[in-house]
Amino acid sequence: MSSKPPVKPVPTPPISVVPARSVLPPTKPSRAEAEAAVTTILRWIGDNPARDGLHETPARVVRAYEEYFKGYDEDPEAILQKTFEETEGYDNMIVLRGIRFESHCEHHMAPIIGRAWVAYLPRGRVVGISKLARVVEVYAKRLQIQEKMTAQIANAIETVLQPHGVGVVLKAEHHCMTTRGVMKPGTDLVTSHMTGAFRDNPMTRQEFLGMIED
């Protein structure tokens, strides 16, 4: 009896790997391209970009966006570099309260309007209080989610000043849910990020939280 010929294995097709999205920033478009994009949106919503009330709108929008998102051109850690050591041994909590900020949601590019409370326990050196407000401003002037922004502010202060601890609380109204979508005006989001003594010491954390206004 003749033997059957061996069965050749069926080759397994190669597994296609979808390349990860590039993390490199795209080439920045020109101002003319940005204005053309605004013109396209105006046409898309059903209006006429050539009418008197809109013919300068693309240029105005691009200038406004330069202001809204100027935080991309600033380094928050560089802002904190200048410090003062002549503090007469002051080592208690430093709190800057109610810093107003305006940001934009990275999901809908809708406004985020809120206030920030920033605190730290100095370790031999302090920074000018305006610098704390500027750090908040730099991160606010980028497309954001509030949770990330809260951590970014705290981490920048922690990295540069190396204090005994940092506490940051943000309260903000998000227009992506108050003026669209679920339409719930009057609601705000509260986020916090604590490091060092603010995380580990309940009394320190409570002292800080007690300074936060409703």
For the annotated catalytic residues, the residue numbers are: 105-108, 146, 174, 176
Quote the CA–CA distance of 44 and 53 in Å, as a whole number. Answer: 17
What is the number of other CB atoms lying within 10 angstroms of the CB of residue 186? 6
The phi and psi torsions of 199 (rounded to 5 degrees) equal -85, -40
Asked if 68 and 88 count as a contact pair (C-beta separation under 8 A), the reply is no
Could you tell me which of 26, 42, 181, 188 has the C-alpha nearest to residue 107?
A: 181
Helix (H, G, I), strand (E, B) or coil at 152: helix
72 secondary structure, DSSP code: G
The phi and psi torsions of 131 (rounded to 5 degrees) equal -70, -35
Quote the CA–CA distance of 129 and 125 in Å, as a whole number. Answer: 13
Contacts of 123 (CB under 8 A, 6+ apart): 91, 161, 162, 163, 164
